[in-house]
Structure 1
Amino acid sequence: MYHLQRTFDPIPQSVGHARGFVTSAIGCHVDTPRCDDIRSCVSELASNAILHTGGSGNPFVVRVSTDQHGCVRLEVHDQARDTGPVLADHQDTDATEGRGMLIVQLLSDDWGVDPSPTGKVVWSHFASAAQAAEHAACKPPTGPAARPGLPTT
């Protein structure tokens, strides 16, 4: 398993920096069609982290993990202690919040929100198109112990 993480300031420019970081981190480890999905999701998750923690000045952490089969786990750790992202009703054309998480839901194989010691972790999982059915490692982890929060550094 390969893990990389980076801390970002809660400013709008960090969305592009987070997207670039994840693009570099996954590099040639991931099927090309999934790269676009992952880049879109990191943009949405980083935007949410900025929206929910930007006023506090607290940074957020992006962590990306890949395995030997090309599966990717994307995590955004922030210090907001809210209940987590809101998922818009896709039929509500007037909704002003939650569309980003709807995109994450549609593009990833699984996603969720877990509490962490310093706030919360919003994660998404992307199975390799060629390997998902063959390898148990490409299935997302389950249970709170499988998705621990990062220690504060």
Structure 2
Amino acid sequence: MAETLAPSAAGTETILRASTRSMRGHFEIRLDVKPASIPHIRGILRHHLGLWGYEDLALVAETGVTELLTNVHRHVESKMATLLVQCVFDGICVTVSDLSQDRPVVQDPDPYTESGRGLRLLMAMVDDWSVAVTPTGKDVWFRLRCTATDEELGGDQDEAQNA
């Protein structure tokens, strides 16, 4: 596990303090969520997805992570969160865990409201998402499927089982 520090442009304040754990197909970052840290997290996510061959999922994954971390910053008293990204057979699963058991609310804002659309956008972009309340808070996760063929993913599963 490594600790990452990213100084601010002025060099006077740490904008990202995170503990990280990474291995092929799995990385986890525990961080104190600040608006200035979110672009750094997007970069780390993009880098890992590129290493894993999931560049095509990066834009949507970054947008989803931005929404979930922003929700932690805006709506959760403790700003500590854990971002977990895992490769699954047909794509990735992204989970943001925080210390609040309050479930996020999908809003239906009027056209003149400046906020409240994030979870609706997330729902439109991802293949699946949900919230699980845990003894210590909640996990909000989403899943993105890749556009790879069965052959690129390791062949047809029916053929593999019959071999």
Confirm or deny a common fold (TM above 0.5).
yes
Residue 70 of structure 2 corresponds to which residue in structure 1?
A: 47
Residue 115 of structure 1 corresponds to which residue in structure 2?
A: 133
Local SS of the residue matching 2:71: helix
What's the TM-score once normalised by structure 1's chain length? Answer: 0.72
Residue identity in the other structure for 1:103: L
Q: Give, in whole Å, the separation in 2 of the partners of 1:63 and 1:73.
A: 8
2:88 aligned to which of 67, 81, 95: 67
Whichever structure has more strand as a proportion of its residues is: 2
Unaligned runs of 5+ in 1: 136-153
CA contact (8 A) 2:127 2:143 kept: yes
Which structure is richer in relative contact order (CA contacts within 8 A, separation 6 or more)?
1
RMSD of equivalent CA atoms: 2.4
2:48 aligned to which of 22, 25, 37: 25
CA deviations 1:64-115 (Å, max 9, x no partner) are 001354x010000000121x2221227x314454311112111110111111
1:103 aligned to which of 118, 121, 124: 121
Residue 107 of structure 2 corresponds to which residue in structure 1?
A: 88
* Count of residues in correspondence between the two structures: 129
CA contact (8 A) 1:25 1:64 kept: no
Structure number with greater Rg is: 2
Q: Give, in whole Å, the separation in 2 of the partners of 1:131 and 1:75.
A: 25
Q: Identity of paired residues, percent?
A: 29
Local SS of the residue matching 1:113: strand
CA deviations 1:95-141 (Å, max 9, x no partner) are 45431111211111011111122100110000011248x97xxxxxx
Q: Give, in whole Å, the separation in 1 of the partners of 2:44 and 2:107.
A: 28
CA deviations 1:16-69 (Å, max 9, x no partner) are 22212221222243443321111111111110111122x43x410100001354
